[in-house]
Structure 1
Amino acid sequence: SWILTDGESGSSEIFKTHEWNHVCFSFDYHTKIVRLGVNGRFTNVNGVDHRLEKIKLPSDLLQKIYLGRCPWNFTDPCSKHNGMFTDFNLWDRPLSPKEILDWTGCRGDKFYGNVVDWRTSKWKIWNMEVVEDYSYEQICRSRVPGITHFPTQMTFEDASVLCSKMRSSLTVISDEATQNKTIDIFFKHHDDKDPLGLLFWNGWSDQHTDTVYQSPDGRIMGNDSFQPWYPGEPNGGKFENCGVVWPHLNAWNDEACSTLASFFCTLQEGPIFWMRGLPKNSKMDSKFSWTGEIPSNSNRYILQGYTDSLIFWDVQTQSWKLELSSNKSIYAEADASENYPLGLQNWTFHNAPELGRSPASFTLSLSACNEEEFNCANGVCISMSERCNNVINCPDKSDEIDCKMIQIDDSYIKHVPPIPILDQKTSSRQSSQSHVFMNMEILEILEISEVDYKFTVQYQLNLKWFDPALTFANLKENSILNAITVDMMDDIWLPQITFENTKQKDVTQFDKTAFGYVVLKGSKSYQPRVLSNTHTYQGSENPIVMKRIYSTVFSCDYQLRYYPFEKQECFMEFSTLGKDSSYVSLEIEEPGVQFKAPKELTQYYIVNFTAEKLSDRVRIRIEMKRRIIETILTTYVPSLLI
């Protein structure tokens, strides 16, 4: 929720499962300042809250302190909660911002409450049990998993990709301390120290240039770098291009990159996984955390759901399972290989009647991608800005699949104008009509014909409007990438604008010469449970722009009474067409009109141009004066000579 969101980064992942979380709530009765700090950072609760002005603390407050999952009126005993808690303290004063951040961030000297001191307070226990005492050092241990061993054996490339899917990188052995640490961790997962077959990737390879070893992030191994090769190694030439550690010899060897070996990933934080595509009525969690735990009979890590689910490798069935912790008979199996079931997989659910049938199969996607990332079909994460940008970024090319920008539901009627935009503050329509905004660029005056009372203009007409009934996906900051194709034009409402002072009452054309796009203006919406993860945007906040160049003959009532000293005014008039005129209002958008054509014409020169809004139309006014010298030279002088 908004309350439990990091006030600085906006991240909703402020709480972590399978880790100690440190929470501090402070309220100043006099200033009404309320603060909530979590794990060394402030949440959005950090400031004055006038809703608390009338709050009164009960005199028997100390008899009304409950910890756990309790009913709001506390008439019934608190139920058993998921997890553990410790170190509750209460003060009779508001804590300062520094104290809150220090206490929740495990910084500075530890201090205890002067009203409730966890060390000396007595509690009545309901539906829970005292497990053990945890030291301050234990509950304040680093939240960074760091170098993590994956006992499963993979090729060098697959190991590197899996580390990427885990929001980490393949650990590169670049110094003796890292080597010693990885060897110690390695043997914790391998009780049998038989040297045969015991090895793990050291993160270096010379696949690109023979004898030039490089890490996945591009670092080059120098001649004076740490490289404890076994005597005579590396000796594989072009056939053995990836480095491994022989832990029993504390030395390196080169192997074929297709060799199967265990590996290490360097995790800067425990990844958060989302299971996308779960049916709404499923009892399974959609959000899972990294546990860092491997069962004794397995060599793969468990993923823990945030409430009541587990994802684990079932050794007996040799399959990945999604299991309901409170009822193990309800589970799903993935059609995945023995490697982690990340990316798109088919999951078959058993004993889950809420899904309508059993067994029931669904295509789900499990990934550690955050809300600013797109999860490729294989579970790799890329920036959402790289989704549908006409460049292949996913290894499986899935980022350029299903790139439909305009999402239209079955209730949409393309012949009905958009409804006026709703004012979010007043919950009322801003107008009884929808607005179409127009401006234009005059490119050239093609012809002025006083005899036929007409003038021909080439111009670019720019239209902009909002359509609240539409939803857009994958919008980019660069509007060129949000282009509306002709096929898309056929599916949406388009404003029909009449060119009023034309002989045939010409109207706007939306053909292949028209260029349309959506401008990214509004905030994005993100649904972590939807199978196809993408950012969506409301049509009420992100306008459609349509541009097209026209060459149009407009009528003009030339006034020749004061020839050749007259001033002419010609107009270009636009209005909404037919039935749309009752629901759509044509408005001027700045700058209204831009004159990019030469202002010096054969007979006239342009003195002014304006755009004005009339009651039922928009008028572009072009003012011209006759070029007197040219008229004298071309008309009067030849006549006198004759």
Structure 2
Amino acid sequence: MTPSAAFALSLFNLFAKIFVRGQSPEDPLPVVRFQESGPATTETMLVYNGTLSQMSKVTLCFRLRIQQSRSINTIFSYALPDEGDEIHLSVNYERKTLIFDCCDALWEQEICMTVTLRDWLNVCLAVDLARLKWQLVKNGEVTEGSMNISASSLVRIRPGGTLIIGQDQDSVEGGFNEFQSLSGRLADLRLYDVLLTVNQMKNLTSCKDMKAESSPVVNFDDVMKDFEVRNVSVSNIKNKNTCVRNRNFDLVFPELRDFDTADLLCDIAGGTLKTPTDPADNWMLFNLSLPYAEACGDGYAETLWLGVKGDVEQQKWLSYKNNQPITWAKFDDDNGLPIKSPDVCVSFIGSKETVEQQYGLWVPSDCNLEMCPVCHFDKVVIIRMRGLCRQSEFDRDYFLTHDQDSLSFTGVFYSEIVKNPPNTSIVDSDYGYWTLRRHDKPHVIAILPMNSPIHYPTGLNTWQVTNDVCGKDEVSLMMTSCTDYKFSCADGTCINLKQRCDMETDCPDGTDEVECKFLTIPYGYDSYNPPSRPDRSQPIKVYLFIKILSMRNVDLSSFQFTCELEIQLRWIDSRLKYHHLNYAETLNTVDDKDMPWIPMLEFLGDGDTTSLVVEQRKSLRVRRLADPLPDNDENIYEDELFEGKENALIWLRKLTVTTSCQFNLEAFPFDTQSCSMSVLLSGITNEYVILVPDEKGVSFVGQRKLLEYRLVSERMEKQDEGNNSGQAIRLVFQNMSNFYVTSTYIPTFVIVIIGYTVFYFPIWNFNERVMVGLTGLLVEATFFSQVSSSIPHTAYLKLVDIWFVYCIVILFLTVVALVIIHWIQEESSVSKVRPVTEKGSTMLLETDVRAIRKFRASRFNYGCRVTFPILTLIFFLGYGLGASLM
């Protein structure tokens, strides 16, 4: 600053100090600029020419715009000979906090506060040292709290020290550290020895009322007089400009591109193609575009692409982002209509090489033409560099700037990425190269050769690195503006992180479906040994769940059954880590080449007999049960990493199992069979791994009705085998006896009834009676033979066998009874009766004998009518009781 300018500024500040207590939003405000370019240094500061008196109450207000952050952004440092931090006020960008230390290091307070770069922070902090309470007001928002400290005497800020702005003192005017300096703009600094009210602090930080009732002890009303200025510049800024919350800005990328490539560049940089919304906005864009008129354009004065496309069907100009009609435009008198082509975009005349009436005019243009993109940003977008090692000297976060008349990427702390013209002595490139460097360590450098005139360092690129502590000469680095829960494609575009490895290509370059291994076996992993037990006294639990899909066959003759199973094993292997897990478990299938330790199972039938197991398919999956670990930007891609101890491995196998079952057919066809199928962990004892049911352990999802039996229940129960842990599946089958009742019992019983009806035939008609009985007996025997050939053969009698025996016996007894009745009627002897006359007595004797025989036969026939039903009833009762007890 020249002496005359400094004198004029001093006069202005003196006038403001005498006549005005504070400023209005339209008034100019002195602003001090610290280290706005170049490396961090300890040479920039303001040293207060006076000193402070003793204070028990203090209010500190300031307006800060951080240009490039330091480890600690020191605003205010007041030191005494015996204490470097009698007052220390700073901002920590990384931790998003305001730090206040005072009073011989008795009070140390760190207050959470949103901190942004290149945006004004208007802050007031009121500290009551007597009550140990504080109030913070930032941009009109209030936070308050207290400090729990113990002090033997009343806490005070002591007098007689040295006050420095912009550097942290470890001793009086000494102990400076460039990493604890200030890079940015500081305005309206005020130090009060009283507590301002909350309303006063709100008004100051929201620019509603710039006046305060009390006069500050220290302020910026006359910077040049009140402070010793060391390597900083002092200028003016409108008060209202420090109160703008959302800092919108536009950047022109001075390379020719077609519309789609321009749109992609803006999207990758975190912005959108600019669309002016009113005449003032359009005129500002025109002024912004003038320096690029020579580099941009197609010869017709159009220089920039705007974010507008034409719709032929609707004959409307739409925003390319949301396809909504635009609310303002500056076309010719015809408003750009009619729209003649479906592939038409809008360009902007940003050159004075035309008539004045066409300045800032919008022109319909073919989208395939090449012009420069102008990108609009609602805020400072942080572009992260991924792939650097943890100890790297380079910054990890950058933002786009146009500070030194060229577009560059400025690191949040100490680095910068700038574009250089071709220089074959440095790098073999026809288009130039990008240089990544540190201001304070010029020997630490990385170079990216450009492969085209429009090549920017965004996306995935291979850099040539020199002197970085990571020790690699070539490093693949990803520069991305993607925010949390987003995935960066190789070209720099962003997609939802959930779309990573979901079997659908979402990135334009398809990189979201590349390297989709959910599990990578770590070095030294032994897949033959189970995971280590977290608690040595407790074995590892492997959870077993069996889904019975169907019962394919119950073979009574072979004493075995066949079923379709889906076996699910679930366990935790803390030795592993998983990548980009989906909530959809089927998408987390592990490659067969990367198999970890998997429990081995053995299937046994009744009596520990070996089962026949045919594997249909198998897969190993990972079930997401917990949130991923915090993102690690040492990885190029935002792959979520999951701890093995919090997420489960799922081993799924679909099997066809044929196993033995000891059927007991005594109650056939009213029998209920209980079968067991054991699942045993083999190759390891239950001291290390045990098999436990997962929930109830087993479920049946198939058709329960089989050919002859119905599955009525299934359950899982513990069944170890020696030192091996196991579980047994108990299956209960119930014979569907309705078939035998209708096809065997009812027909055979009907035959018995038919045989019984012969006792109601005339007793003299022996031939018909005995033929019916014999026919029933023969049919019953035939039934017995046929049924016996279709049911399992056993050495013991089954209920169905007993039934047939009864039916045959009862029919046999019927035939015998008929023969006996016939014999009684025809052949039995009768006692002789002495005749009265020889001739007459003979006639009476024959008649009496036939009558007596007939009577006896009738009596026996009637007895059969009664006896046979009683015998049948007794049999039924015994048969039913026996069937229920079996």
TM-score range with shorter-chain normalisation? 0.7 to 0.9
Corresponding residue number in structure 2 for 1:226: 329
The more displaced of 144-153 and 224-233 is 224-233
Max radius of gyration: which structure? 2
Corresponding residue number in structure 2 for 1:425: none
1:588 aligns with 2:693: yes
What are the ranges of 5 or more consecutive residues in structure 2 without an aligned counterpart? 1-91, 98-111, 353-357, 424-431, 749-782, 785-803, 809-886
CA shift, 1:562, in A, is 5.5
Q: 1:330 to 1:460 in 2, by over 3 A?
A: closer
Corresponding residue number in structure 2 for 1:414: 527
1:380 aligns with 2:484: no
Q: 1:234 to 1:447 in 2, by over 3 A?
A: closer
C-alpha distance in 2 between matches for 1:255 and 1:38 = 47
Corresponding residue number in structure 2 for 1:465: 571
**Contact 1:21–1:38 (CA under 8 A) maintained in structure 2:** yes
Q: 1:240 to 1:552 in 2, by over 3 A?
A: closer
1:304 aligns with 2:410: yes
Q: 1:133 to 1:91 in 2, by over 3 A?
A: farther
Q: Deviations over 1:350-378 (max 9, x none)?
A: 4x264547xx3322221212232222112
Alignment of 1:346-365 (within 5 A): 346-350=462-466, 352=467, 354=469, 356=471, 360-365=473-478
1:20 aligns with 2:124: no
Corresponding residue number in structure 2 for 1:598: 703
Corresponding residue number in structure 2 for 1:59: 155
1:623 aligns with 2:732: yes
CA shift, 1:326, in A, is 0.7
Corresponding residue number in structure 2 for 1:140: 243
C-alpha distance in 2 between matches for 1:28 and 1:506 = 82
Corresponding residue number in structure 1 for 2:828: none
**Contact 1:603–1:631 (CA under 8 A) maintained in structure 2:** no
**Contact 2:388–2:477 (CA under 8 A) maintained in structure 1:** yes
C-alpha distance in 1 between matches for 2:609 and 2:204 = 75
C-alpha distance in 2 between matches for 1:542 and 1:104 = 52
C-alpha distance in 1 between matches for 2:301 and 2:689 = 75
Corresponding residue number in structure 2 for 1:333: 447
CA shift, 1:494, in A, is 1.6
Q: 1:239 to 1:13 in 2, by over 3 A?
A: farther
SS at match of 1:483: coil
Corresponding residue number in structure 2 for 1:573: 678
C-alpha distance in 2 between matches for 1:569 and 1:630 = 21
Residue identity (%): 19
C-alpha distance in 1 between matches for 2:742 and 2:282 = 94
CA shift, 1:550, in A, is 1.8
**Contact 1:230–1:253 (CA under 8 A) maintained in structure 2:** no
Alignment of 1:539-550 (within 5 A): 539-550=644-655
Please point out which of 368, 389, 410 is paired with 2:481.
368
CA shift, 1:471, in A, is 1.8
Please point out which of 334, 344, 355 is paired with 1:241.
344
Please point out which of 300, 316, 320 is paired with 2:434.
320
Alignment of 1:499-578 (within 5 A): 499-501=603-605, 505=610, 513-525=617-629, 526-560=631-665, 567-578=672-683
Q: Deviations over 1:66-102 (max 9, x none)?
A: 9767589999634341424564668988998x999x6
Q: 1:71 to 1:118 in 2, by over 3 A?
A: closer
CA shift, 1:218, in A, is 4.7
Q: 1:171 to 1:458 in 2, by over 3 A?
A: same
The aligned amino acid for 1:619 is A
The aligned amino acid for 2:459 is G
**Contact 1:23–1:38 (CA under 8 A) maintained in structure 2:** yes
The aligned amino acid for 2:379 is E
The aligned amino acid for 1:184 is N
Q: 1:129 to 1:580 in 2, by over 3 A?
A: farther
CA shift, 1:459, in A, is 2.2
Q: 1:528 to 1:41 in 2, by over 3 A?
A: farther
CA shift, 1:306, in A, is 2.2
Corresponding residue number in structure 2 for 1:288: 398
- Output the TM-score relative to the length of structure 2: 0.59
1:202 aligns with 2:328: no
Corresponding residue number in structure 1 for 2:882: none
CA shift, 1:409, in A, is 1.7
**Contact 1:277–1:363 (CA under 8 A) maintained in structure 2:** yes
The more displaced of 595-604 and 211-220 is 211-220
Larger helix proportion, structure 1 or 2? 2
SS at match of 1:370: coil
CA shift, 1:520, in A, is 2.0
The aligned amino acid for 1:466 is I
**Contact 1:592–1:611 (CA under 8 A) maintained in structure 2:** yes
CA shift, 1:325, in A, is 0.6
**Contact 2:312–2:340 (CA under 8 A) maintained in structure 1:** no
SS at match of 1:278: coil
1:474 aligns with 2:474: no
- Output the TM-score relative to the length of structure 1: 0.79
**Contact 1:388–1:401 (CA under 8 A) maintained in structure 2:** yes
C-alpha distance in 1 between matches for 2:196 and 2:94 = 19
C-alpha distance in 1 between matches for 2:246 and 2:514 = 37
**Contact 1:497–1:507 (CA under 8 A) maintained in structure 2:** no
**Contact 2:96–2:115 (CA under 8 A) maintained in structure 1:** no
Q: 1:573 to 1:186 in 2, by over 3 A?
A: same
The aligned amino acid for 2:655 is Y
**Contact 1:91–1:113 (CA under 8 A) maintained in structure 2:** no
Q: Deviations over 1:388-413 (max 9, x none)?
A: 22222222222222222212221222
C-alpha distance in 2 between matches for 1:239 and 1:3 = 48
CA shift, 1:189, in A, is 6.0
SS at match of 2:270: coil
The aligned amino acid for 1:332 is A
User: Aligned residue pairs: how many?
Assistant: 612
SS at match of 1:494: coil
C-alpha distance in 1 between matches for 2:532 and 2:229 = 57
1:187 aligns with 2:252: no
The aligned amino acid for 2:305 is W
C-alpha distance in 2 between matches for 1:448 and 1:31 = 86
C-alpha distance in 1 between matches for 2:134 and 2:668 = 79
1:277 aligns with 2:387: yes
CA shift, 1:216, in A, is 2.3
**Contact 1:320–1:338 (CA under 8 A) maintained in structure 2:** no
The aligned amino acid for 1:605 is R
The aligned amino acid for 1:477 is Y
Please point out which of 491, 494, 498 is paired with 2:602.
498
C-alpha distance in 2 between matches for 1:444 and 1:481 = 26
1:261 aligns with 2:357: no
Q: 1:127 to 1:278 in 2, by over 3 A?
A: farther
Corresponding residue number in structure 2 for 1:426: none
